[in-house]
Amino acid sequence: MEYFAFTGKTMGGSSAINYMVYIRGSRRDYDSWAELGNHGWSYREVLPYFMKSENNQDIESHNKHYHGIGGPMNVERFPYIDINTMMLVEAFKEKGLPITDLNAENQLGTDIVQSTSKDGRRESVNVAYIRPIRHKRPNIDVVSEAHVTKVLIDPTTKTAYGVTYVKNGKIYTARARKEVIVSAGAINSPKLLMLSGVGPRHHLESLNIPVIADLDVGSNLQDHVTTDALVIGLSNKTSTMVNGPQLVSELYNYFRQEPKKNGPLAVSGTLSGTAFIKSPYTYEDAPDLQFHFDGRNVKEFYSDPTTYLASNVFPLSFYDGLATRPLLLSPKSRGTILLNHTDPVYGPPLIYSGFFTERIDVDVLIAGMKFVLGLEETEAFKESGASFIKIPVEACSSYVWGTDEYFYCLLTHYTSTIYHPVGTCKMGPHSDKSAVIDPRLRVYGVRNLRVVDASIMPLIVRDDAENQKVKASK
């Protein structure tokens, strides 16, 4: 199964290209980290860092014990909510899910999501943290359009003392006075460590890379897996299906709106409403399924679901269909990242997702698909004229639509990720032989080297990984 990994190689990293959804995860996520021996990472201990980072503009509608104001990262609700988002939230309420603060201790329920945006504009980590200080502090120097190729580590003292990087075809060296801190993401942090001699001995030796520290770098890959081949057809009550000139008009209106954007483009595409549930396969007091919805042009999608590319920058009402995405929040399957044997330095790493190597992951997603079919029976759907399109996709046409066999086929042929890879430089106590870094994010066996991104997570959190990167950096 091919794994497409989109990462943000720009100022702000993937926070500059993501959905902007602000959901931290469940209390159970962080308490599980602490139970594995990662002291200082329990929910009670990390909550103050989340609150400190927030400048929450939606605080009146949320519990003040979980939210903060005055922090660098602006958090709000998208200023534009379309009719189909409200239909979905109302339908989930009819299914028994309460309206809940998705950033409190437990996310079980439904709501309009909060976002890392300000007045309808994206607010990346760069905008929130770097841009305000970039030209004001003497101790920060940003080198753009550069590609780091190696962490420099003294092979005798096992001490990191700098990095090499390439810019405009020339090789440069940056030396560290105190520490080298790696934040290249769950795909490229393990790649950089392995290129530097930190990783599995057998793999590094096969590429003639001198081994500095024999660690389980690249293992423990986890991601939120989903499928997008269950499609809800919208009626003309809620679908506008705008044409090209109308889109141009909306773009013009968006740029004219000052200072606050509040039209259809002031939203993270189609992901505004969501819901979290527990499947029959979990015994934890936390959800193991979430539901996302993407816009679809139904005719184009059914002509070839494997190549269909939705822009997803417009609200749900701009399409005539919705793709239902049940999201696997706590996968048991694990993948691996290895260096590219042909071109270890500049070639993309080899990503082995490991999706569905544990059968329970399949069962949980099938349970999610069965649950979401029940939305069709709600008054919210009936009043809107929305219903599932019960036509099998081509690859699964030999199965009866809506059966377990059909759902299994969808997962086999139309699996995708929501782009939340984590865990490839696993954090853990010294007794954990699979751990790469300690609970203070220091790489085992190497002095003055830390990792501070989503790769540190021993277990994936229930939803957006971007906020955990900020917390780790703090």
Residues with active-site annotation: 420
C-alpha distances out from residue 220 to 182, 186, 217, 427, Å:
18, 10, 8, 10
What ranges in 184-335 are assigned the alpha helix state H?
Answer: 185-195, 201-206, 244-256, 298-303
Question: Which residues on adjacent β-strands are paired with residue 225?
Answer: 328, 417
Query: Tokens at residue 392, please?
Result: 């099998």
Amino acid at 347: G
What's the full length of the chain, in residues? 474
Alpha-carbon Rg for the chain, nearest whole angstrom, is 23
- Nearest by Cα to 90 from 76, 104, 110: 110
Is 338:320 a contact under the CB 8 Å cutoff? no
CA–CA dist 333, 223 (Å, integer): 9
- Nearest by Cα to 53 from 113, 128, 158, 151: 128
- Nearest by Cα to 271 from 462, 420, 81: 81
List, as one string, the DSSP characters of 45-112. HHHHHHHHHEEETTGGGS-TTS--SSSSEEEEE-S---HHHHHHHHHHHHTTPPB--TTSS---EEEE
